[in-house]
Amino acid sequence: GAGVSQSPSNKVTEKGKDVELRCDPISGHTALYWYRQSLGQGLEFLIYFQGNSAPDKSGLPSDRFSAERTGGSVSTLTIQRTQQEDSAVYLCASSLSLTGRDTEAFFGQGTRLTVV
């Protein structure tokens, strides 16, 4: 596709359930990023990938959060035992590179997660 695609666009889940969010980056983009944005708040950085590798996972809010990327393409963000405070829009972005001039990030439309 032409842009970053995220699925599902909306997800309502019960507290305690696991959810999996998917991100399809732009083809050829080696860098991929996950963010979370609560209503009216700024972007909270979660994790980035260079290829399939995530060098620093310290931005993940808790050990209930995990992310992986396979084949240098699709990434999934998994939240286990969801809590109400996990409710937010989860945004994925990709860029050609992590450094230099090719760092323009293209964002998806996000997944709106609501934990009830």
Partner 1 sequence: LAKTTQPVSMDSYEGQEVNITCSHNNIATNDYITWYQQFPSQGPRFIIQGYKTKVTNEVASLFIPADRKSSTLSLPRVSLSDTAVYYCLVENYGQNFVFGPGTRLSVLP
Summarize as ranges the residues that interact with partner 1 (CB under 8 A): 4, 31, 33, 35, 42-43, 45, 48, 56, 59, 91, 93, 98-101, 103-110
Sign of CA dihedral 46, 50, 54, 58: negative
Closest CA to 20 of 87, 65, 53, 83: 65
* Whole-angstrom distance, CA of residue 72 vs CA of residue 52: 5
Q: Least separation, in Å, of the C-beta of 14 and partner 1?
A: 24
Which lies closer to partner 1 via its Cβ, residue 79 or residue 110? 110
| Partners of 91 in beta bridges | 35
Residue 56 Cβ, how far from partner 1 at the closest point, in Å? 7
Question: In this complex, which beta carbon is closest to partner 1, that of residue 5 or of residue 80?
Answer: 5
* Integer Cα distance of 111 and 116 in angstroms: 16
Nearer to partner 1, 41 or 83 (CB): 41
Instruction: Indicate the residue among 33 and 65 with the shorter CB distance to partner 1.
Output: 33
**Residue 41 CB: number of other CB atoms within 10 A?**
10
For the bound state, the minimum distance from the C-beta of residue 112 to partner 1, rounded and expressed in Å, comes to 9
